[in-house]
């Protein structure tokens, strides 16, 4: 069976991962697409759960083998991508897929899957808010935070290209809105 795709995109620190995790608990038949990625694993992450962590070389071999439905070098030497095998794995179980990815990857997937995909942009209240969230994570270096904020300015300008925009002013509001649009789409 071909299920549907729910894509959550946003600048880093906008809260999309929290919203995706909430939906996974609330919406039946949704399963998270685990991306492959070449950045180092953070201390709170698990191999095969948050990402399939692989080396830059392994990642490049998979690109050559055409194993990805989309991939990107999101930051220098930090490759991220969705494996075709991951989509097949989830659809085979009769589940719908939820994605957490940057805006370029999100729009790329939307273009490929068109009406079968719902692309949602999570809008942070401000850039300042993003900076605060990234600092609170305590997993990013100051260089990484600056890089992510620089990218965020560009990413905010793509919001209008998504099917829906959810403002993450309070998590409570964002959760309600996200549940509503996702349930409607999956009906």
Task: Name the site residues for ligand 5GP (rule: CB under 6 A).
Answer: 12, 35, 39, 70, 72, 74, 80-82, 100-102, 104-105
CA distance 14 to 19: 10
**Least distance from ligand 5GP to the Cβ atom of residue 165, Å:** 16
104/127 with CB nearer ligand 5GP:
104
Position with the least CB separation from ligand 5GP: 105
Nearer to ligand 5GP, 100 or 177 (CB): 100
Per-residue three-class SS string for 132-182 = HHHHHHCCCCHHHHHHHHHHHHHHHCCHHHCCEEEECCCHHHHHHHHHHHH
- CB of 76 within 8 A of CB of 39? no
Q: How far is the CB of 13 from ligand 5GP (least distance, A)?
A: 8
Least Cβ distance, residue 166 to ligand 5GP (angstroms): 15
Name the minimum Å distance from CB 187 to ligand 5GP: 26
Q: Name the burial class of residue 139, with classes exposed (0-12), middle (13-18) and buried (19+) by CB atoms within 10 angstroms of its CB.
A: exposed
């Amino acid at each position: 069976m071909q299920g549907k795709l729910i894509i959550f995109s946003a600048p880093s620190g906008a809260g999309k991962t929290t919203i995706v995790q909430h939906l996974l608990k609330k919406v039946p038949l949704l399963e998270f697409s685990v991306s492959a990625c070449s950045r180092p694993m953070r201390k709170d992450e698990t191999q095969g759960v948050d990402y399939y962590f692989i080396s830059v070389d392994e990642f490049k071999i998979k690109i050559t083998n055409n194993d990805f439905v989309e991939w990107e070098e999101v930051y220098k030497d930090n490759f991220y991508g969705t494996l075709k095998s991951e989509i097949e794995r989830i659809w085979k179980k009769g589940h719908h897929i939820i994605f957490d990815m940057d805006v370029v990857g999100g729009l790329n997937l939307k273009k490929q899957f068109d009406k079968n995909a719902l692309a949602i942009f999570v809008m942070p209240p401000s850039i300042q808010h993003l900076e605060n969230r990234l600092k609170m994570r305590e997993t990013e270096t100051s260089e990484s935070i600056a890089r992510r904020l620089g990218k965020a300015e560009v990413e905010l300008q793509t919001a209008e290209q998504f099917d829906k925009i959810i403002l993450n002013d309070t998590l409570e509001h964002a959760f309600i809105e996200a549940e509503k649009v996702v349930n409607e789409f999956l009906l």
